[in-house]
Amino acid sequence: MDIWEAIKYLLLGIIQGVTEVLPISSSGHVEIAKVLFNLEVDEGLLFLILVNTGSLIAFIIVFRHDIYNIIEDFLTYIFMPHRRTDSRFGFDTAIKLVIASIPAAVLGILFNNQIDELMLTYNVLLSGVGLLITATILLITSQGKIKRGYTYITYLDSILLGLAQGVALIPGISRSGATTSTALKRGVGIDSALRFSFLMYIPVSIGSMLLYFIKLSDEGLGLISDEYLIYYLLAFAGAIIATYIAFKFIFNIFKSGKLKYFSYYCFLLGIGSILIYIIRM
């Protein structure tokens, strides 16, 4: 096993984990990191499954109480009509999360292959453009008044957040940045916006994994050699640990509502990503 290659993949998982929590696009960072680390392997299906599963596991751990309460309220509302008043909020949240997941699921099924093909040729260029879009969204959002605390999320909010999440399938466009900005522009409090945005990630991530597994049965693991399984597992472990730690220690920067700083960062990284593509042409 090549130790330096193993370190690269571990760092790739860490980058995936940290950037998944912040509004700066994990997919864009992973693409740029692959180029800078000079990784020869394209993102095989197994790699995609493992790093995304790593972040998903961390999300489930962080939001385990919310998930439990939502599922409990959903089942209570359906099977115990006499307790529907008490369980209505969790039931509504479950339905809104399903609604919010539909646009990304539909767009993913329709355009996933086309996006993958574009990434093979234009990887860091496409990521750079996406990062500039993210930067613009965050900058515009930062100019408005940001409500604090928890507020009610309507069914229309869930539809619009779902559409924003669907657009974020394009590499470089931050999923959390797009969904949170949409919610804030709708007048949702930042705590509610972030909670709903990250809960939205869970069903969409599970759906993406199922899609990858279906493709995996047709295309195989995509391993160059057996040792790459070890590299991928290191990336998987890095993604779990980094996502969890980022939630505990970095997430409050996002929660503070200082989106303009993330915007400036995405502008610089987006321009840098485009320059990398031009230099490598």
The pLDDT assigned to 222 comes to 59
The pLDDT assigned to 38 comes to 81
* pTM of the model as a whole: 0.90
The pLDDT assigned to 267 comes to 97
Query: What residue spans define the domains of the chain?
Result: 3-280
Q: Which residues of the chain have pLDDT under 50?
A: none
The pLDDT assigned to 172 comes to 94
| Distance (Å, whole) CA 108 – CA 11 | 27
The pLDDT assigned to 44 comes to 58
